[in-house]
Structure 1
Amino acid sequence: MVTTSTKRERAAHLGPERRRPAVLDAAQAIAVRDGLGAVTIAAVAGSMAVTRPVIYSCYPDRVTLLDALLERESQSLLAATLDALHSASGDDPEQTFVDGYRALLHAVAARPEAWRLVFDARPDPEVARLVADARRRIVDASTRWIAPALERWWQTEDLERKLPALIELFVSSCEAAIRIVINPATDWSADDLAALYGQMMAAAYRTA
């Protein structure tokens, strides 16, 4: 019979580099279930059935652990959002918006816990900082994608003046759609919600 102490001894032999992803996964599971405040070195060690020194060998303190977790998740979410923007292209404005929202919302549906961690914990200062940084990069990427599209599709007048408001509308709509998808009580599928938001956004931009 393998005892818990034996398991813990062997777990430490994996080494910090190989163990860090598993530590972050365990911390994420605790944060999603109980909130970021519940993520402690002891809690993560307990969930992994290892001793606290094993966790300390990966991350020297709780703050460093949380920073690594939030950085990993925010970068993953940013990459998914940028991929959605890059995948949206075509000559049909409404279909292009639908395709972009669909790509984004399928990424959300594939990893709802990660998105819920960031969006549900925004009052935490560290989360807010990382989300704000990711949001700025999304705004920049959206501007590079949307500005020429508006000129091509609708020859939008006074575009330079209107663009900041139009970009804010688009990014805010993405955040709203994400919150709907990660809400456990929602009955919207990613495809249906993408169609709704794509149609609304195309109509709003057409009239701008």
Structure 2
Amino acid sequence: MIPFVPTRIYIDTAVAGMAVTKRVLDKFPDVVTEYIDSPDILKKPIPMTEAKKMLLVTKSRGDGIKSCQGGGGDYVCCDYFTLSLVSNCHFECTYCILQDYLQNNPVISIFANIDEILGAVSKSIQAKPDRIFRIGTGELADSLGLDPITEFSKDLVAFTSKHPNMILELKTKSTFIENLENLDHQGRVVISWSVNPQDYIDQEE
């Protein structure tokens, strides 16, 4: 599987000095890079395929974790929490909900303020030590799709190992597992793949 290489990188000036930003720039020294004061200028109609070739490094302005959007009525919520460190995915699976869901914000985004995000998550977890927190990163992006660039899996596994009432779930279609090798996962990291018949993989993924 070929790792993602952007055609253009946008850096939110709010995260210009952060370690994740430097990590990204070090990996793509030859890619055209533009610094912007607000990522809102990229929230415009851009063909999804074109937008998925761009990369924005910015700051998450949301909560650390949020409850899964379980349905109401007769549906039973599984008490799952979502954590978003990346938004959108460079894979072109035609059936994926993200192809439609993120049309108004289509540029692939990495949130560089991971220390701040995980700090908020830690407070939530420590506030309820008797509760098990199942936390997954696969709601708005493939959990490992950009991991060769971000190396977020290393940060997440280290974070999970320090919180005994947390289980980390990584959902992916990629083969990018190198960063997970030889990490101290404490038996509380789950990796899952969705697998389709080969014909469907060839035609739709």
Report the TM-score, using the length of structure 2 for normalisation: 0.29
Look at both structures and tell me which one has the larger radius of gyration over its CA atoms: 1
Query: Higher strand share goes to which structure?
Result: 2
> What TM-score comes out, normalization by structure 1 length?
0.29
- Name the structure with the higher helix share: 1
